[in-house]
């Protein structure tokens, strides 16, 4: 061997440091959390029961930040029945493929819907919601978004079917 090509201790330290640095960057970049399933059925039932509405009656100004408190969120995406993943992936969330199973299911069903809780462009949680407490959004988009900065909804007890309640998005209102 050529003695000039023999690695010295300084070169070995530099190589080790480089290896550790690259390994650290790879591990940190893979730090994506999988969304967790959260059940908010009891919270929505409690809001509906406390309102004590008669069929056809409307209660305005319910702040969803006081209802959805089990996790952090910047916005909530409503996954309506018959939603398609091809449209959903256009939202360009960091981990939208983690909820692909929800979109596969929702392509063919209309007896429930999902809420996706997003924090800093990443889906952190999801909630499967029954139609007894439907969150209705008049947004014509494929995936309506409820922002934490505008979380106000109205609660309506349906006149034709008083067992059902509808949470209706109120545009441009915020509860202080």
pTM of the full predicted structure? 0.74
Q: Is the per-residue pLDDT at 90 higher than 60?
A: yes
Q: Is the per-residue pLDDT at 164 higher than 80?
A: yes
- What is the 8-class DSSP label of residue 94? T
- Token digits for 175? 């509860």
For residue 116, the model assigns a pLDDT of: 93
Q: Is the per-residue pLDDT at 59 higher than 90?
A: no
For residue 29, the model assigns a pLDDT of: 54
For residue 176, the model assigns a pLDDT of: 30
The string over 1-33, giving b where at least 16 C-beta atoms fall within 10 Å of a residue's C-beta and e elsewhere, is eeeeeeeeeeeeeeeeeeeeeeeeeeeeeeeee
For all residues of the chain together, what is the average pLDDT?
80
Give the tens place of pLDDT for each residue, 111-145: 888 999 999 999 999 999 887 777 766 555 668 88
Q: Is the per-residue pLDDT at 168 higher than 60?
A: yes
- Per cent of the chain over pLDDT 70 is 81
Give the tens place of pLDDT for each residue, 149-158: 988 888 888 8
Strand partners, 157: 165
- Token digits for 114? 């999902």
For residue 174, the model assigns a pLDDT of: 36
Average pLDDT of the residues in 68-84: 89
Q: Is the per-residue pLDDT at 171 higher than 90?
A: no
What span, in angstroms and rounded, lies between the C-alpha atoms of 80 and 149? 22
Average pLDDT of the residues in 10-16: 75
CB 153 within 8 Å of CB 64: yes
Q: Is the per-residue pLDDT at 27 higher than 50?
A: yes
Average pLDDT of the residues in 105-112: 85
């Amino acid at each position: 061997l050529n003695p000039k090509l023999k690695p010295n201790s300084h070169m070995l330290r530099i190589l080790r440091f480089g290896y550790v640095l690259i390994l650290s960057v790879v591990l940190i970049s893979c730090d994506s959390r999988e969304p967790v399933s959260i059940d908010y059925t009891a919270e929505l039932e409690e809001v509906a029961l406390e309102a004590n509405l008669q069929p056809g009656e409307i209660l305005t100004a319910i702040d969803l930040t006081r209802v959805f408190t089990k996790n952090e969120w910047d916005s909530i995406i409503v996954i309506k029945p018959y939603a398609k993943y091809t449209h959903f992936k256009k939202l360009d969330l960091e981990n939208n493929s983690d909820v692909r199973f929800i979109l596969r299911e929702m392509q063919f069903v209309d007896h429930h819907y999902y809420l996706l809780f997003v924090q800093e462009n990443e889906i952190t949680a999801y909630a499967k919601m029954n139609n007894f407490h439907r969150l209705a959004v008049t947004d014509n988009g494929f995936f309506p978004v409820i922002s934490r900065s505008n979380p106000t909804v109205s609660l309506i007890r349906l006149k034709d079917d008083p067992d059902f309640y509808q949470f209706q998005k109120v545009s441009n209102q915020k509860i202080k």
